[in-house]
Each structure stands twice: as structure tokens, then as C-alpha cells.
Chains A and B, each alone.
Chain A
Amino acid sequence: MRQDDGAYRSCRRFVQQNIHACVAHLIIVTALVLISACSGFTSRGTPPVPQIHVGTQGIVANFVGNTPPAQVLEEGKFDMLLELHNQGATDVDDALLSISTNPEYLDISIPQGQSQLRLAGKSLNNPRGDKTLLSLKGFAGRVSQKTPVSVPITTSICYPYATEAAPVVCIDTDPEGLKQQRKACTAQAVSLGGSQGAPVAVTRIEVSSLPHDDPERVIPNFKIFIGNVGNGEVIDAQQVDSYCQGRPDKDAFNIVSLKARLQESFLLCDKQILKLKSQDAEENYVQCELPQGIERRIAAFSAPITIILDYGYAFSVTRQINVVPRERS
């Protein structure tokens, strides 16, 4: 009993001695929590602007969940759920959906009126872009052999698309540095990282100013590098339907048309149609300039150069299905 009493007293003494330290710790922790909460509020002070022209995809197709199933019995039915999402910033009114497989073993039909789709791209009012879900019915045919047959199902979505890039470049009206003035910016290559809310992107722009016939003007010159940054195939915008119908022209691939504008004027480019040569973006460029030039009297300034690329794009997704034969007596 006396031992218990002693233990109680020493415990109470310990609490009394440490109570101030405990209170101090509690105050510090509370203060830290409050400070971190306040700093969070400050950082949220400026509301974020929705990023529309970002990302490297256009319309992306994906099979949902476990559809189609990994295996299906011969002469059996199966379901497929296909999600189509316009992850880019261009509205598409007439995307064409096609499914190809081996007709000997599988028969998949697209419901009436669903092979042509309309999917709006990202915008300030629709910052995620349109998404749709298609339910498809499939039927497995008869397998003549006794072992399962692996059959690929390829779903393709073909659509006309556009890339709108507006990188801010420096227009240096005094490239020789004759004016003794600190410039707002210096003309240099602008790397865009290839993310403009579309599968084909402007990856880099090299800017320079060339002499004009009029000594009071300079000609802004741009070397615009373009690349396929998505996971699909670039096709001629005029050949979208024939690609999805399985009969594309051999010259239909990697065709991009380009228009560029600075201030209120369209730029004069060495080519309006660019054939992307390879994955190496260094080879894929167009050289453009503003022939009328810009007055030298205006000091160097930052200006957006609006580049519009038009093309067709095809995105495909493939799944393998094993068609398993039934046991026959």
C-alpha cells in the first residue's frame, strides 16, 4: 500500500514537472499547424487557370475493365465496353470508329449510328473534354480445331484534328544591338515540350530577325519544328475515312498542313504541307517569315505566334481473345 502511494506521488511529481513542457509543445504544434494552414491559403490566393492546350493526345480509345474477356467459348456471345475520350483541345464532329478482327472466328458489330462520333475537346467550360462509352456485342464463331485460337481485336478511331499552339516568342527589332537599350527579351529558341493538347505538336521554334530591304524594318524569321507526340498515326486529313475503312492511300501517312500568324498577318512559309519524315523532330520543320517586316522603331517585345496544324489522326487499341472450342463427343 505504501509502495503504491510512493509510486502515485512520484508519478504526480513527474506530471507536474513536465506539464509546462507539455503545454509549450502543444502551443508550438498548434502554431505550426495554423502557420501551415495560412501559407496554404496564400498559395491558393490566385485561382489556377484551367490548362486547355496541354497534353499529347487527341481521342483515346480504351477497353473498359475486363472487356473483352480473355477467352470466350466458340459460338458464345460476349460484351465489350469501349471508352472514347477526347483528351485534346479540338472539337471533333465526325470521328470514325472501326473494329477489325478475323471474321472467321469473331463477329463484332458496332450499333447503328455509333460508328460516327462527335466528341468535343477541352475548353474553359469543359476542361476535361467529352467522354463516351460504347457497348458492343460480339459473337464467337465455330473453331474447327481442338486447341484455342488467339484472335486479335483492333479498334481504331480515325478523326480530323488540329493543333493550335501560340508560343510567346521574342521579336527583336534590333538584332545588331545598335540601340543602346536594355531589351525586354532576347530572341532565342523556344522549346515547347510538345504538349499543346493534341497528338501532333510544335516542339521547338527558332527565332531570328533578318534584314529587310527597307532599313527601318526587320523580317522576323521562324524555324518551326513539328513532331508526332501521340501514340497513333498521322494521316492526311482528307484520308481519314479511307484509313479507318482499311484502304488508305500509300501517300496518306504523316501529312500535316501548317498555317502561322504573327500579329494580324499570316506568315509566308517555305511549305504549307509538311510530310513528317521520321520520329526525329529535328528533320521535321517549316521555315516561315513575315515578309512585310516589323518597324525597327518598336523596341524588342514578346508576341505570340499562332500556329495551326491540320491533319488526320488514327488511334488504335488491340486486345487478344482466345476462342476456346467446346468439347465435342
Chain B
Amino acid sequence: MRLRVICISLALLILASCAGQRTSEDRGFENFRTGSQGLVFQFMPNLPPARLYDDQDFNVQLRVTNAGAANAGSASDRMYLSGFDPSILTGISSFGEQVPPLEGKTQFNIQGTYGFVNFKGIPRALSVKKIDKYPFTLVATGCYNYQTIAQGNVCIDPDPFSTTAKQKACIPQTTSMGGSQGGPIGVSSVLVEATPGRTRFRIDVSNAGGGIVYRFGPEFSQKCSPYDQRGLQFNEIDMVRLDRVEVAGTNILPSCKPLDQGHVRLINGRGSLVCEYTAPRSQAAFVTPLLVEMSYGYQQILQQQVEIVSSR
């Protein structure tokens, strides 16, 4: 009897340990391409302070977290401070500060990485200008290039209206991609429309990051600066470059439309395009991954009220 109890306990213990091991394995394959944020900027507490005297240094520290699944921190990824009178607050460069190189989330690091950007300004004496206090809205503008890779499974049925009573592996239908693939721009859904020999995909793209999306490239990141002479123009914002659309190992990007010089245009934060995949009618229905790669520039803005008070 005692032996039986010991055996059962041992078996339960082994089973429990196995279950635990499987969970940790699952964690190893956790999908890291989730979330609708790229770089996340945050003012560190009291940097800047809500109020400071004009004989104190004006220190600003921003924590930059790469919460998305792409790497960031190239030379054109920069952070700028604006909103203040440069004749009162001096020493803050209009060229901004570079965002430190930050690796995106991976299957081995699902938290992302973070770094800091520092600014130091020197207030001029307010008494010279006969001012008691100077309140202003400090605007921190982050400009960076980013990439989203959206992946989901779709059903390809080259002979959707077949009259033969063949069991099909899948039925083409709308696939929801959740709209969050580890970047502020994501594929929200893919509508699959099967016709004989040809499958059409309507890919819906959306801006879920709360910032402004603009054309990819360092020249546009330069225009994203609040100190740029011209700034981003109407035809440069809400443009997402489509790099690749792959179905069953075939790049179907050339079939996608409407594209404006390879870009999807977003209207009110949403855009869509239609791509086509051709398969011989003799092929049976099958499930295959759909891969969408997009590149873009992204502008994120942060504001804080600051007051400089005269010390004399």
C-alpha cells in the first residue's frame, strides 16, 4: 500500500515537472512581433522640473524604449526640443540629439531595450528682460525610421468553385492580424478573395501608434525636425513604403495597387491595397504564410509645461 502511494506521488511529481518544462519551451517561441509601438519616449521624473529658477541649469532626460520589433538608433534617428524662446533658454542645439542604438524585441528579448537622451540648457537672467516668470510648453519631438513585418496565415484555393466533392484543407476568409505587429504601423486585416486560378488579398494598413507617419529615409527624418526650414509637406506624411508582400514564397509586390511610388497612402490613419497571387487551378487549397514588410519614418511628440522663475 505504502509502495503504491510512493509510486503515485513520484508519477505526479514527474508529470508536474514535465508540464513546467513545456511552459518554458512555449515561452521560448512567444510571438515578439506584438504591440503597436516603436520607440516610446518618456521624460524622466523632474527632468525637466515643472519649475526652475533662472540661475539653475535646465536639464532634460528622456528615456527611449524600443518597444517594437525593429532596430532603431541610426544617425538620422534624432530627438529635438522646441517650444521655448531661444533668447531665454540657450544651449539647446537645434540639430537635436541622436537616439542611441536600440535593438528591437526578439524571441530572446521580448521586453525590448532602452537608452537615454540628454539635453542641457542654460536660462538667461529673466530680470534683464524685466520678467518675473516665463512659462512655456516644452515639446520633445522624436523622429526615427522603423520597419514592420506582419505575418499571418492565409488560405489559397485556386479552384474555389469546383464541383467535385473533394475535401478542402481550408476555406479562404478574412484573416485578422490584430493590427499590432511590433511597430506603430501595422496590418489590421487581410481579406482573401479567391477566384479561379487567382487569389486577391485586400491588405488593410493602419497607424496605431498615435504619432505621425512619414516617408522612409534620412532626408525625410531631417524634415521631421521642428527646426527644418520647410518641414514635412502634405505629400510626405501618411506614406508607408511597401517593401515586400510574400505569399507561398513568391514576392507579389509588383501586383499590388494602388501604390504611390511604392508607398501606401493613409487617410485618417488607415489605408488599404490589393495584391494578387496566381496559382494553377489544378492545385489543391492550402494554407500558407502571408508576409508584409513596410518601412516608414515616424514622429512622436511629447509635451510638458515648464516655468522658469526669476531668482532676483
Query: Quick one: which of B87, B214, B234 contacts A263, CB cutoff 8 A?
Result: B87
CB-CB under 8 A from B139, the residues of chain A are 182, 184, 299
Query: Quick one: which of B87, B134, B229, B303 contacts A168, CB cutoff 8 A?
Result: B134
CB-CB under 8 A from A46, the residues of chain B are 50-51
A146 located at the interface, meaning its Cβ lies under 8 Å from any Cβ of chain B in the complex = no
Query: Quick one: which of B84, B94, B231, B303 contacts A179, CB cutoff 8 A?
Result: B231
Q: Which residue among A52, A295, A299, A306 has the maximum number of chain B CB atoms within 10 Å of its CB?
A: A299
Give the size of the chain A interface in residues (CB under 8 angstroms): 34
B280 located at the interface, meaning its Cβ lies under 8 Å from any Cβ of chain A in the complex = no
Of all chain A residues, which has the CB nearest B85?
Answer: A303
Of all chain A residues, which has the CB nearest B236?
Answer: A180
Question: Are A180 and B85 in contact (CB-based, < 8 A)?
Answer: no
Question: Are B85 and A299 in contact (CB-based, < 8 A)?
Answer: no
A63 located at the interface, meaning its Cβ lies under 8 Å from any Cβ of chain B in the complex = no
B78-106 CB contact bits vs A (8 Å, 1 = yes)? 00001111111000001000000000000
Question: Are A302 and B51 in contact (CB-based, < 8 A)?
Answer: no
Query: Quick one: which of B133, B228, B232 contacts A49, CB cutoff 8 A?
Result: B133
B310 located at the interface, meaning its Cβ lies under 8 Å from any Cβ of chain A in the complex = yes
Question: Are B229 and A216 in contact (CB-based, < 8 A)?
Answer: yes
B213-242 CB contact bits vs A (8 Å, 1 = yes)? 010000000000011111111101100000
Question: Are B134 and A297 in contact (CB-based, < 8 A)?
Answer: no
Docked pose: A166 CA to B136 CA in angstroms? 13
Given A264-B87, A299-B82, A304-B131, A181 contacting B94 (CB threshold 8 A): no
CB-CB under 8 A from B133, the residues of chain A are 49
Question: Are B230 and A179 in contact (CB-based, < 8 A)?
Answer: yes
A301 located at the interface, meaning its Cβ lies under 8 Å from any Cβ of chain B in the complex = yes
Of all chain B residues, which has the CB nearest A216?
Answer: B229
Pick the 6 closest A-B CB pairs, nearest first. A179-B231, A184-B83, A299-B226, A303-B85, A263-B87, A302-B136
A177-195 CB contact bits vs B (8 Å, 1 = yes)? 0111110110000000000
22 A-B pairs with C-beta separation under 8 A: A46-B50, A51-B132, A53-B132, A166-B129, A166-B131, A178-B230, A180-B212, A180-B232, A180-B237, A181-B232, A184-B137, A184-B303, A185-B136, A216-B229, A263-B85, A297-B94, A297-B229, A301-B83, A301-B84, A302-B135, A302-B136, A308-B130
B203 located at the interface, meaning its Cβ lies under 8 Å from any Cβ of chain A in the complex = no
B211 to chain A, nearest CB (A): 10
Given A301-B84, A301-B85, A304-B131, A49 contacting B94 (CB threshold 8 A): no
Docked pose: A164 CA to B128 CA in angstroms? 12
B4 located at the interface, meaning its Cβ lies under 8 Å from any Cβ of chain A in the complex = no
Of all chain A residues, which has the CB nearest B127?
Answer: A124
Question: Are A168 and B312 in contact (CB-based, < 8 A)?
Answer: no
B59 to chain A, nearest CB (A): 18
Question: Are B87 and A299 in contact (CB-based, < 8 A)?
Answer: no
Docked pose: A269 CA to B109 CA in angstroms? 62
Q: Is the interface of B mostly helix, strand, loop or mixed?
A: loop
Query: Quick one: which of A174, A263, A264, A304 contacts B134, CB cutoff 8 A?
Result: A304
Docked pose: A296 CA to B225 CA in angstroms? 12
B134-148 CB contact bits vs A (8 Å, 1 = yes)? 111111010000000
Docked pose: A124 CA to B133 CA in angstroms? 12
B60 located at the interface, meaning its Cβ lies under 8 Å from any Cβ of chain A in the complex = no
A300 located at the interface, meaning its Cβ lies under 8 Å from any Cβ of chain B in the complex = yes
Question: Are A301 and B87 in contact (CB-based, < 8 A)?
Answer: no
Given A178-B233, A179-B230, A185-B83, A302 contacting B137 (CB threshold 8 A): yes
Question: Are B231 and A306 in contact (CB-based, < 8 A)?
Answer: no
Of all chain A residues, which has the CB nearest B310?
Answer: A124
Of all chain A residues, which has the CB nearest B138?
Answer: A184
Of all chain B residues, which has the CB nearest A171?
Answer: B85
CB-CB under 8 A from B299, the residues of chain A are 181
A129 to chain B, nearest CB (A): 15
A298 located at the interface, meaning its Cβ lies under 8 Å from any Cβ of chain B in the complex = yes
Question: Are A180 and B136 in contact (CB-based, < 8 A)?
Answer: no
CB-CB under 8 A from B236, the residues of chain A are 180
Q: Which residue among A49, A297, A304, A308 has the maximum number of chain B CB atoms within 10 Å of its CB?
A: A304
A243 to chain B, nearest CB (A): 27
CB-CB under 8 A from A184, the residues of chain B are 82-83, 136-139, 303
B309 located at the interface, meaning its Cβ lies under 8 Å from any Cβ of chain A in the complex = yes
Query: Quick one: which of A51, A174, A297, A302 contacts B84, CB cutoff 8 A?
Result: A302
In the complex, which residues 217-272 of chain B have their Cβ closer than 8 Å to any Cβ of chain A? 226-234, 236-237
Question: Are B85 and A304 in contact (CB-based, < 8 A)?
Answer: yes
A184 to chain B, nearest CB (A): 3
Q: Which residue among A164, A178, A302, A306 has the maximum number of chain B CB atoms within 10 Å of its CB?
A: A302
B301 located at the interface, meaning its Cβ lies under 8 Å from any Cβ of chain A in the complex = yes
In the complex, which residues 16-73 of chain B have their Cβ closer than 8 Å to any Cβ of chain A? 50-51
Docked pose: A182 CA to B237 CA in angstroms? 13
In the complex, which residues 243-274 of chain A have their Cβ closer than 8 Å to any Cβ of chain B? 261, 263-264
B98 to chain A, nearest CB (A): 19
Docked pose: A171 CA to B309 CA in angstroms? 21
A212 to chain B, nearest CB (A): 13
Q: Which residue among B136, B226, B227, B233 has the maximum number of chain A CB atoms within 10 Å of its CB?
A: B226
Docked pose: A124 CA to B55 CA in angstroms? 15
Of all chain B residues, which has the CB nearest A53?
Answer: B132
Question: Are A303 and B88 in contact (CB-based, < 8 A)?
Answer: yes
Docked pose: A102 CA to B131 CA in angstroms? 46
Known A179-B228, A264-B87, A296-B229; 17 more pairs at CB < 8 Å = A49-B133, A166-B132, A182-B139, A182-B212, A182-B301, A184-B136, A184-B138, A263-B85, A297-B94, A298-B86, A298-B94, A298-B227, A299-B139, A301-B86, A301-B136, A304-B131, A306-B131
Query: Quick one: which of A164, A295, A299, A308 contacts B83, CB cutoff 8 A?
Result: A299
Question: Are A181 and B131 in contact (CB-based, < 8 A)?
Answer: no
